Structure 1
């Protein structure tokens, strides 16, 4: 064999969609935070302290009981639609929020991220126009981009997209395939669309026939009051709804769901079958066993209380240490994130190495924009740190900002 053969050009030819794929900016940053002693506010991970380990252990034992038909079924191939008990649970829970959902509309997915991927495959053609908030969830941009859409960012403020901003964007081109929204405790900003704003923008969606992809992984993580009813409850035929068990149980289970109008469901199901046949049946049965007796009604309030205390600690630390620095930040009423805007002229990406050197890490905001990013922005997650760590981390960040503006 010629020793230079291994240096020859690769015979593999990538698809155009593969060239559009990009690594997760967050997961690349998490590699930096593996250094010992770094206070990590970069990850979007739920607190492992909230994982119901004991309940999961008991559920696993029940599912795998010796000689049980359930045990054998849990280890066998399963229906692509998902476990009937879970689909019924989702439909019942949505009914409590005012959305009339049939279990036949529920598709259990391997995490809600898979739901985004299925939506992209079924609804986006090359060149299709897709609307997103400014900024929006990075994982959605990653899921949609390989299908080669044309993104259009809708002007957004503390209440999410504005009705007038939406109209202005819609006048500049053909009707988009859909608009992607996170109305509750949005990732990355933490903002929530209030009742009045939901009514205003929904009137525009319905008037123009613009479908909605409503992503709600954080909706149960409210601190003082639940968010308004979902958009699904207001326009069932015009909304695809995505939910997740990751934030209320454990992300390692990779369990989410899509609720789709009847005319779309078969195609999403076919895309699911092509992707992985079905979501792991064992995981589904364990979760169904855990939640069957109202466990989440007892468990989720403990998560809310924990996250609220951590949110309070972060806001108090920012109030104290950022005083006089012309730094702005959101004040979320639920979820996991605070969105920070640095003074004019600063660049969060450029400041990250200095922050890491000081002992803390954040996620620069630019990757969360479909276009025209604001380099001053950054995201902080408060749920995996103690109040003491939060106080020290915000003091470190303030010193980095102070040095940059001096």
Structure 2
């Protein structure tokens, strides 16, 4: 059997991770990205231990993520600065493995793109559909048709291919919130803590990035489509009286990003109900295309990275592509559904705006033992990637060690 060809639709984090993983397992890969350049659209991303282990399994290990880990206590606070819960990042690293890193999305995109062979990424090429009725998959693109043995659809939460494969699914559901994101340049000592502060129906997060910049984000309860005329004024109105260093960060945001373009604003959506499966024939859905979730656990990008290494592992060890992708659904569907559901529940708690309800919530969070919180994280960030590539074997034979079991 000759070298097999995979087309990956979408040059975001999940798509590029899949491309790296497949190319390092012997596949020829073409990435179709509709944008004219690869960009880390967004701001920061927290790479939790599960994502770092997945990246390490495809050769993107600790040397890529040089820089500071999350500093000191990490946890939840109230607007007056009181800690509701906190954990030491070093203790989390001891329990779960690689120390969490927070990086700019652009940095991650660049690292993934640099790990690909030349010519893999085709920019300015959009995918409009697939035809999986013949001996190979025909991928319809704006630059002409491509023929592939498998397609990995990583084309985001508004996935074109998801709509083709599952036309009866209702699609995205608004999650009742909107968010702001921005990255501040390095200036003076970074914050001593990475924390999210919960008010009544509002949140503000501060995350130091490995390069010294600061990722800030905020959320508020809102209906779909709402957009303030002046983002900075709205943020100051909502959060300007909260604990340090939030007021100072808002001042810096005004200095460095007074134009609304410098502050990203978006509604939160999730894919609900879940898709019945993450594949159809020789096409697999990955990341937001498969299981768009709210950002409340910080696991959207991490789950896309997990998806990518799992689908590449299974495609590398199964000569029957539909069977490999059926195994991919089995390995990923329950886990991502559970994480998406947990993220939704966290969002429901964070959105509480009635004073009594918010007070009861805060008391409950404060009363939860740290050990219980740590155990609850085990099933999320304790995930392990598939084993390293097995020795070459006879076509059609699948070694028992290559199976990826459905994980909690």
The two structures have a TM-score, normalised by structure 1, of 0.29
| Structure (1/2) with the larger strand percentage | 2
| Structure (1/2) with the larger helix percentage | 1
The two structures have a TM-score, normalised by structure 2, of 0.28
